[in-house]
Each structure stands twice: as C-alpha cells, then as structure tokens.
C-alpha cells in the first residue's frame, strides 16, 4: 500500500562528538523526537565535511577525524515539526538546522501471509 501527501522535513547537522549530559547529542535528539511523538527519525553518519570552523573532518585513514558530521532527519506534519523546534533550543550549541516542505510517498509493508 502506498500513501502520499505534504510533510515537513527537519534536518539537523551536528558533530558526532557533540554531547548533552554525557550522552551523544544525536541520541538525545532522536529520543526527544520519539517522546514528542514524531513519525520517525534517522541518523546519518557523514564520511567528510566541514562547518563553521572551516576545518575539514574526514574518515580517510591518513587524516582520521574524531568529529565526523552527523545528520538527523525527521519527517512529520508541519504542525508537529514546528512544535518540536523549541526542544532543540537548549540542546544545540553549534550546528545547522534546515526545515523544508516535502512531498512524501510512503510505502507500507504487506500484511503477513499476503500474496506477492
């Protein structure tokens, strides 16, 4: 089954070593999104990038970085995303937050025992 519609995507770029109370910041954000009831969140580990410091962080072995980029992507309705934004204010010291409107095509799994 497939459903579609308008949604809002929240993308948060931080460093993998960013912490909140001795816990990875990306973990804290995902758990807060879950508690808030957002539809879903995914964390993507970058292999190379730079931000405000202009220092390039990379996973290449000769210049192995200890602070690779991380992107947290959350998609839900406009109201839910906008309502969640204040939760980020006390968490993110340095990073980038991007909000954009998206068209969602959601594929739901087949019922168990269903035909192909």
In a domain, 111, yes or no: no
Distance CA 6, CA 8 (A): 7
In a domain, 113, yes or no: no
- Per the structure, the complete domain to which residue 12 belongs is given by 2-103
pLDDT in tens, the chain (116 residues): 567 899 999 999 999 999 999 999 999 999 999 999 999 999 999 888 777 666 666 665 554 556 788 999 999 999 999 999 999 998 999 899 999 999 999 888 766 665 55
In a domain, 115, yes or no: no
pLDDT at residue 109, rounded to an integer: 74
Identify the CATH number of the domain in which residue 96 sits. 3.30.70.120
| Residue ranges of E strands in 60-114 | 69-76, 96-107
- Cβ proximity of 99 and 8 under 8 Å: yes
Q: Alpha helix locations (H) across the chain? A: 25-36, 78-89
Distance CA 101, CA 84 (A): 15
In a domain, 110, yes or no: no
In a domain, 53, yes or no: yes
Number of structural domains found in the chain:
1
């Amino acid at each position: 089954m497939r459903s579609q519609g308008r949604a809002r995507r929240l993308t948060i770029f931080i460093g993998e070593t960013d912490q909140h109370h001795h816990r990875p910041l990306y973990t804290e954000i995902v758990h807060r999104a879950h508690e808030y009831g957002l539809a879903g969140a995914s964390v993507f580990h970058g292999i190379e990038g730079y931000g405000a410091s202009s220092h390039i962080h990379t996973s290449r072995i000769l210049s192995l970085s200890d602070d690779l980029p991380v992107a947290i992507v959350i998609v839900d309705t406009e109201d839910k995303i906008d309502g969640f934004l204040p939760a980020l204010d006390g968490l993110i010291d340095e990073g980038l937050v991007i909000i954009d409107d998206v068209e969602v095509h959601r594929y739901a799994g087949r019922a168990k025992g269903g035909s192909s």
